[in-house]
Amino acid sequence: MVKNITVIAGDGIGPEIVAEARKVLDAVAAKYGHEFVYTDVLMGGASIDKYGVPLTDETIEKAKSADAVLMGSIGGDANTSPWYKLPPEKRPEAGLLGIRKALNLFANLRPAMLYPELYKACPLKEEVAEAGFDMLIMRELTGGLYFGARSTEEKNGEMVATDTLVYSESEIRRIAIKAFEVAMKRRKSVISVDKANVLDSSRLWRKIVNEVAADYPEVTVSHMLVDNAAMQLVKDPAQFDVVLTENMFGDILSDEASMITGSIGMLPSASLNDTKFGLYEPSGGSAPDIAGKGIANPIATILSAAMMLRFSFDMDAEADAIEGAVKKVLSEGYRTGDILGADATGLTKVGTAAMGDLIAERI
C-alpha cells in the first residue's frame, strides 16, 4: 500500500525523535511491502524563522492532501527564545491550535499504559503499579467550555465573568462513535465520564452516548462522574479501557493519566477528524533543555507512528509489530536516560538514534 505522510518535525527535539519514527516506519514498509512517501513541512518556531508566521497556508494544504500527519513537537524555551517576544497569535503554539482547527481534529486520543518493565516509574502504590494499566482517553477537542461564548463585564457594581459550556447532539455523537470504534480494536469497554448529576450538557452527553452504545452491542458501556473518575484513576487505573469524555474533563484527566505512567517520553497521541485522517504526535513538548544532545526518548513518537498505522491506515498487524518491538527492547533492558531507574545495574542506557535502531531491528 502507498501512503502519503506529511511530516512536521518541528523544533527542539522534534527533528531527532521524528527521524527515529521514520526509521521504524521504513522498517515496517520493508517488511510488509508498503511505501510511505514523506513530505516535510515547517510549523512552529521553524516556520517563524523562515516565513515570519508559525503556520502557513502551504503547510495546511500539504497536511490536508496527505493520508496523515506525523509531528514531532513545536516551541522553544519561553524565557530565552525570541519566538516568545512575538504577540501570542504569532508564537509557535498558535501554529498547533491553527492546524487542529484547520483540519477539524475533534477527537484527541491519548493512551496511557504502564509497561510491566517500568512499573517502578509509576508514582502509585506498589500493588496498584504492579497490576499495571492500559487505557486510552478519548477527549472531545473542539467544543465545550473552551470554545463557548465568554465575557467579563460589570454588573450591579462588580465584575462578572461568564464562560458557556455548549455541546450539540452531533458533536457528542461523532466523538462517541470514535470511542466505540476504538474500543472495538481494544478490550471493548467504554467508560463515559461526565457530571450528569449537575450539568445539562452532561445529561445530553449521557443520553447520546447510550444511543450510540446501542449500535455496538459487543462493547460494555458505563458512566462515571468526573470527580469519581479522578479518584478511580489513582485508586484502580486497571479498570479503564477507553475513557470517553468532553473537552475540559479530558484535559484534566489525560494529564492525570499520563502522570501515573511516570514517563512523558513514552506517551503517544492522535487527533482525528471524521474521516480516517489524523495528526499523530508525542504527548510531550520540544524539550529545549535536551535538544541536540541525542538523548531524547523517541518511543512516544514511534508509538504515535504505530497509532497512525492503526487508526488512519487500518494496518493493525503493522502497528502491533511496532508496539511489540518497543516492549521487546524494554524487556531486554534498554532505556533512554529520562526513564526512571535507567542507571540501574543490568540495564543499558542508550541515546535517541540507538533506541530507534533497536526498535527498527525488532520489527
Question: What residues are labeled active site?
Answer: 146, 195, 227, 251, 255
Q: How far is the CB of 178 from ligand NAD (least distance, A)?
A: 20
CB 300 within 8 A of CB 265: yes
Comparison of 286 and 312: residue with beta carbon closer to ligand NAD: 286
261 in contact with ligand NAD (CB under 6 A): no
Q: Which residue has the cell 486520543?
A: 109
Cell of 142: 473542539
CB of 273 to ligand NAD, least distance (A): 17
Under the binding rule (CB under 6 A), the answer on residue 356 touching ligand NAD is no
Q: Of 166-195, which residues contact ligand NAD (CB under 6 A)?
A: none
- By CB under 6 A, the residues from 294 to 333 that bind ligand NAD are 296-297, 300
One-character DSSP codes across 177-190: HHHHHHHHTTTSEE
Angle between helices 299-307 and 352-361 (to 10 degrees): 40
**Residue 15 in the binding site for ligand NAD (CB under 6 A):** no
For residues 36 and 26, what is the distance between their CA atoms, to the nearest angstrom? 7
Specify the residue, 77 or 181, whose C-beta has the smaller distance to ligand NAD.
77
Residue number with CB closer to ligand NAD (90 or 187): 90
User: Least distance to ligand NAD from the beta carbon of 339, Å?
Assistant: 9
Terminal C-alpha separation, the chain: 18
Which residues, including other chains, have CB under 8 Å from residue 155's CB and lie 6 or more apart? none
Pick the piece of the chain touching ligand NAD (CB under 6 A) from 47-55, 154-162, 284-292, 316-324: 284-292
CA 143 to chain centre: 18
Distance CA 290, CA 17 (A): 12
Among 224, 287, 302, 326, binds ligand NAD (CB under 6 A): 287
Q: Which of 143, 250, 265, 278 binds ligand NAD (CB under 6 A)?
A: 265
Interaction of residue 73 with ligand NAD, rule CB under 6 A:
yes
Contact stretch for ligand NAD (CB under 6 A) within 73-81, 131-139, 150-158, 190-198: 73-81
CB 135 within 8 A of CB 111: yes
Residue 254 lies near ligand NAD (rule: CB under 6 A): no
CB 17 within 8 A of CB 352: yes
Q: Does 76 bind ligand NAD (CB under 6 A)?
A: yes
- Residue 54 engages ligand NAD in binding (rule: CB under 6 A): no
Least distance (Å) between residue 97 CB and ligand NAD: 10
3-state secondary structure of 217: coil
Cβ 258 to ligand NAD shortest distance, Å: 10
Q: What is the DSSP letter of 174?
A: H
Q: Give the angle 143-147-153 at the CA atoms, nearest 5°.
A: 150
Q: Is 289 in the site for ligand NAD (CB under 6 A)?
A: yes
Question: Beta strands of the chain (E only): which ranges?
Answer: 2-10, 35-41, 68-73, 107-113, 134-140, 150-155, 158-163, 189-194, 220-225, 242-245, 268-272, 278-282, 334-335, 348-349
- Give me the 79-118 binding string for ligand NAD, x by CB under 6 A, dash otherwise: --------------x--x----------------------
Residues facing residue 155 across a β-bridge: 158
Shorter beta-carbon distance to ligand NAD: residue 201 or 336? 336
The binding site for ligand NAD (CB under 6 A) comprises: 13, 17, 73-76, 78, 93, 96, 264-265, 281, 284-290, 296-297, 300, 338
